[in-house]
Structures are given as C-alpha cells and as structure tokens.
Amino acid sequence: MSPETLFDALYQTSLAGLIRENDLAFPVIETVHVLAIALVVGSIAIVDLRLLGIASRERAYSRVAGDVLPVTWLAFAVAVLSGVLMFISNAPTYAHNPYFRAKLVCLGLAGLNMAVFQGITGRDCGRWDRSLPTPVPVRTAAVLSLLLWTLIVTAGRWIGFTMLAGY
C-alpha cells in the first residue's frame, strides 16, 4: 500500500469523518494536544535546565528526572494520541504540509538525542549526578533538546496557519 493510499484510507474512516464533521471534536482534541505538549515541553525543560545547571541546582539530576519524567511520558502519550486523531481528520493534507513534516523530523531527532543521552552520556550519571557544571556532552544534549522542542512547538503552530494554504 502506498503512503497516498494509506492517507486516503485514514481520511475515509468513520472516526476521521466524525472529527471533521463535529463542531466540537477537533477543537477539543486540539486543546488536549496543546495542553499535553505544554506538559511535555515544560517537564523536559525542567530536566534540561537542571542538566545545564540553571535550575534545581541543589537537587541531583537523577532525583529531578525521577520526579518529572513520569509526567513527561504520560503527557507524551496523550500528545501522540491526540496528534494522531488530528492527523487522520485530514491525513492527505497534513502529510504534504512542510511544517508537519518538519515537526516529525524534529520529533525523531529529539528521540535520537534522548536515546543517545540515555545510552551513552547518561550512563555514567553516577559520576556527575550532583556536580556542576555537568560534563560538556550532558550540556550539549540538554541544549539540543531545548532547541529541538522549541522547533517542534514552532512547526506545530505553523501547521495550523498553513493548512488552508493547501500545503
């Protein structure tokens, strides 16, 4: 099945039709999506700012991450679910929107940054958990994370502004 066929099939589902045709469905889903993204970005920023030594300086990184990241993952799951529901409501148009594509690329890069951090840089957290400044690779991962999440939010906002332009 080609991507175009898949996008058209998603668009034709009864759930997608319900979201498109109900006056409240899309705005409610979008509101949930925005609130979930705010929680994701806010909680990630708390962790990244600790890694940079800007906030929560008196707390160990592991404690900050342990307290905050469960909220991040729950909010991320809600953001993905609500994002998928918005996508299927107009899949062919979203799929061709350059800002939607940029958002997905940035999400992938943010995931890669997190995986590299967790798999390599964060592995020796015991050495630097309470120390400031944190090692350069740790601070680099935090800056990349903040930059990527800023780009994700920016691209997400531009999706809505460009949907009527027929991208």
pLDDT tens track for 145-161: 999 999 999 999 999 88
Asked whether residue 21 carries a pLDDT value surpassing 80, the answer given is yes
Task: Identify the band that residue 164 occupies on the pLDDT scale cut at 50, 70 and 90.
Answer: low
Q: Which of 45, 40, 48 is nearest to 75 (CA)?
A: 40
Alpha-carbon distance of 22 to 145, in angstroms, equals 36
Q: What is the distance between the terminal CA atoms of the chain, rounded to a whole angstrom?
A: 23
Q: What is the mean pLDDT of residues 113-120?
A: 93
What pLDDT shows up at residue 124?
A: 85
Q: What pTM value is reported for the model?
A: 0.91
Q: Is 56 left (phi over 0), alpha (psi -120 to 50) or beta?
A: left
Query: For a pLDDT cut of 90, what percent of the chain falls above it?
Result: 85
Task: Identify the band that residue 126 occupies on the pLDDT scale cut at 50, 70 and 90.
Answer: confident
Task: Identify the band that residue 121 occupies on the pLDDT scale cut at 50, 70 and 90.
Answer: confident
Q: How far is CA 99 from the centre of its chain?
A: 14
What pLDDT shows up at residue 163?
A: 78
What pLDDT shows up at residue 123?
A: 82
Q: How is the chain split into domains, by residue range?
A: 3-165
Burial of 161 (0-12, 13-18, 19+ CB in 10 A): exposed
Asked whether residue 23 carries a pLDDT value surpassing 80, the answer given is yes
In eight-state DSSP terms, residue 133 is S
Rg (CA), the chain: 18
In eight-state DSSP terms, residue 54 is S
Q: What number of helices (H) and strands (E) belong to the chain?
A: 8, 0
Alpha-carbon distance of 47 to 45, in angstroms, equals 5
Residues in the chain: 167
Alpha-carbon distance of 62 to 101, in angstroms, equals 33
Q: What is the mean pLDDT of residues 99-122?
A: 94
Task: Identify the band that residue 166 occupies on the pLDDT scale cut at 50, 70 and 90.
Answer: low
